[in-house]
Structure 1
Amino acid sequence: MRNNILIIESSNKKIDLLKNLIYREFSRKKTIIHTSIDIESSLNVVENYYIDLIIINLSLNSEKILETLIKINNLTSDRQFKIPLLIYNGLKDKHIIKKSFELGAIDYFFDKLESEDISYLFSLKIKNSLKICNYNNNLIKQNNQNKKQLKLATILQKSLMINKKVLPSIEVFGRYIPSTEIGGDSYDAIDTDGKTWFMIADVMGHGASAAMVSFMVKALFNQLANIHKTPKTLLNEINRTYYKMFENKSDIIFSIFVGTIYKNKLTYSSAGHPYPIFYNSQDKTTHFLDNNNILIGIVPHSNFSQKSQMISKGDIIYLYTDGLYEQIPEMRDINLINNYIKLNHKLLINSPDIFTNNIIKEFTNNEEIEDDIAILALKKK
């Protein structure tokens, strides 16, 4: 990587001195030095090269040079870091000094460059300034790579989170709103040999690590649903596999609710997940699908329990993560979700997706969310 340095100086003697200082620290093959004595030529250099460092003699015309630097900053406004400046000047004008640092000055010298001590110090400043610039450039590259990877992960996660899906025995409506670009909530519903499996999970934390675990949870669910017969045995295996995979070195744990619908029977098991709400379409009542078990990833072995009940055509299972009801402190109560369903059950029956839009608006108060929100509504056909 070559260093591009711009010297704004009218004295050929000082230009030669600065070049010698620069070449003392860096080889000529790795360094390109540009020189300028006026605004136009300075701007032309900045437009055509990625400048890593500007060295300026402000005594040429302080106000004019500051005007030049302002224009340079405007030209490079898309850069994530300002071009570092090394300034030398015989003037001790506080306004000029203050403005120089605002425009990106790393250091400001009052002494003459011809001084042996100052020239030695100046060469070190040049070296350190370029180190900072190279570090910033590498940081920008890494940041851009991370953004690309994050964008890809966001697209992947959204593609895996179904909005609508029709299975042989149920209609599926989903909604996912991460608090950052990607998050740790996930849900799914699949059919295996006439049996409907569904799940919703909430991984502790946010960002890439939580998202990676959520991908793994979803994959494990899809794989194990074809092997296990009941929700509790599936949760036992998910817990055992997850714990063994990290050998108790991960502090990421998660809640998950798993259920099956086979003919008119609903069977479910939960690992510390908020209770889903069951809406009975016949008598228009609601109740929680309560089941208490430990979160996944805390202990290597856990004997999960499960419950069963009947489910009929038109009945709805409404699942959610705690991000829905924990956005507003005074609303941190799942009973509020139950009450909202009771008051708006007709909309839930006729249009689960519109109902979900409304409940999100109601419970988040249209504010920026602090935790991921995942909602899964299942309607028996």
Structure 2
Amino acid sequence: MPYHILVADDAAMNRALIKDILNRNLRDATFADAINGEEVLTYLQYTQVDLIILDLMMPVMDGYQTLRWLKKHPEFHDIPVIVNSAVTEIASIEETLKEGAIDYFTKPLSTNDMNIILPLKVKNALLYYEQQKTIVALNRQISEELKNANTFAIIMLPKEHGYNRIDLFIKYHPTLGVGGDFFDCVETDQRIHFMVADVTGHGIAAGMASSMVKVLYRKIIEQSGIMPDEILSEINHSIFEMFDFAGRDNYLVFTAFVGVIENGKFYYANAGQPYPLLYQTKTKTFVDIRQNGFVIGMMDHVSYETECIDIEQGDMVFLYTDGLFCAGEGSDFTGWEKVYSLSKHLESVIETDPREFLDELFYGFHMIHKLKSVDFTDDVALMLIKIRKT
């Protein structure tokens, strides 16, 4: 493809020599001249340039000032710049390399410089620029795909309105635009079904997996009277069958908590999720729903256990994924204790404004991570279910 190269040097003889050398070594290259930095900036406003060969010592606006200006402006930041100057100014050339120049050569040019070194430096710089443009285009495409996937993921989230016996509050923070955390809530004539899950990984693949889990979950809970342990067992068996058929080099592993509320009873089963919390309005305090179980997708024919606790009107069930308390590298297996502790401090908030409770809790962990100079590195899903008073 044709390249357009801007040669900036206040000496006409130097510009002519550089263009002559490159004309003999490059195919389809065109050239433009500038005698100082101001002319470089003016030319760039109207013309696409693939490479700038920049003399450091020029009048009006020298090469140092020009290079700094280019690197401060995003629209010109990625244009490769090869600087050149006299042999006695090597220290200055090193400074420009730190400022962002891609390469340099010194004057006067030797025969070897003219025939081999300069053409090679220019070819490498042009190749670098082509690679950078390809990377930028791919990143733009990936960003657009993530944006579309995030839109789909938001559509798949449960809606906060449309329930007769509960109020639902959710907060979702994916780390890559779309994430693998999944939660759902379904109200039937007799029951409230809900689930929170955390699929391994991030990004589009994890988002697709969580969508698949949601479809599977919705299908399973259509069965009359099905209990949480049976729901988890069926999901686990179905996932295992799918990926066993695809070959065990492929797998899907995730943690999940499943709950059912019916006739004043809260039935639940856990598959490796952090312990949810139950806020009891009568005592105005939190109770942790502590139960363990195998994560889904590791072994087939795993048994889970349904446990039960009373739940009254005005009570609230709070579910969350471990991305809330995990930041940086590694896992925090006692992170639920931090969630419990901070939630206890926010008991007066949840009583008056459940949505503010979610926001305050999220912000609290953001500040905890910030003190450690880290931020959320995993998807975060928060869901609060409040039983309406009738």
Q: TM-score under structure 2 normalisation?
A: 0.80
- How many residues of Structure 1 are paired with residues of Structure 2 in the alignment? 377
Where 1:93 maps in the other structure, the secondary structure is: helix
Which residue of 198, 204, 218 maps to 1:222?
218
Superposed CA deviations along residues 173-232 of structure 1, whole A, max 9, x for unmatched, are 222234554433221101245432111112334444444433333333234333573333
Report the Cα distance in structure 2 between the residues aligned to 1:57 and 1:337, rounded to whole angstroms.
60
Q: Which residue of 1 aligns with 2:381?
A: 374
**In 2, distance between residues paired with 1:341 and 1:358?**
9
Does 2:128 correspond to 1:126? Answer: no
Displacement, 1:312? 3.3
Superposed CA deviations along residues 280-326 of structure 1, whole A, max 9, x for unmatched, are: 44565654333322101212332333223443322322222233455
Q: CA deviation at 1:20?
A: 4.7
Match of 1:44 among 22, 34, 42: 42
Structure 1 stretch displaced more, 302-311 or 358-367: 358-367
16, 35, 39: which one aligns with 2:33: 35
Q: CA deviation at 1:39?
A: 3.8
> Paired residue for 1:334?
336
Is the partner of 1:188 in helix, strand or coil? Answer: strand
Q: Distance in 2 between matches of 1:137 and 1:342?
A: 52
**Are the counterparts in 2 of residues 80 and 140 from structure 1 also a CA contact under 8 Å?**
no
2:295 paired with 1:289? no
Instruction: Verify the 8 A CA contact 2:199 2:252 in the aligned structure 1.
Output: yes
Q: Which moved more, 1:42-51 or 1:77-86?
A: 77-86
Is the contact made by 1:81 and 1:136 (CA closer than 8 Å) also made in structure 2? no
Contact 1:163 1:175 in 2 (8 A): no
CA contact (8 A) 2:233 2:301 kept: yes
Give the deviation of 1:275 after TM superposition.
Answer: 2.1
Shift in Å, 1:162: 4.9
- Give the letter aligned to residue 352 of structure 1: P
Question: 1:300 maps to what in 2?
Answer: 300
Percent identity over the alignment is 27
The answer on whether the counterparts of 1:6 and 1:33 sit within 8 Å (CA) in structure 2 is: yes
Which deviations, in whole Å up to 9, do the C-alpha atoms of 1:255-293 show, x marking residues without a partner?
Answer: 111122234343322211122223444565654333322
> Which range moved further: 128-137 or 99-108?
99-108
Give the drift of 1:15.
Answer: 4.6
Distance in 2 of aligned mates of 1:40 and 1:260 = 71
> Is residue 234 from structure 1 mapped to residue 231 from structure 2 by the alignment?
yes
User: What runs of 5+ residues in structure 1 fail to find an aligned partner?
Assistant: none
1:102 counterpart residue number: 98
Q: Which amino acid aligns with 1:119?
A: N
Instruction: Choose which of 356, 359, 369 in structure 2 pairs with 1:357.
Output: 359
Match of 1:89 among 62, 85, 89: 85
Report if the CA contact (8 A) 2:312-2:387 is conserved.
yes
Q: Distance in 2 between matches of 1:68 and 1:348?
A: 57
Alpha-carbon RMSD across the aligned residues, in angstroms, is 3.6
Compute the displacement of 1:134 (Å): 0.6
Aligned amino acid, residue 47 of structure 1: Q
Conservation of the 8 A alpha-carbon contact between 1:325 and 1:332 = no
The amino acid of 2:180's aligned partner reads G
Q: Distance in 1 between matches of 2:341 and 2:103?
A: 64
Structure 2, unaligned runs of 5 or more: none
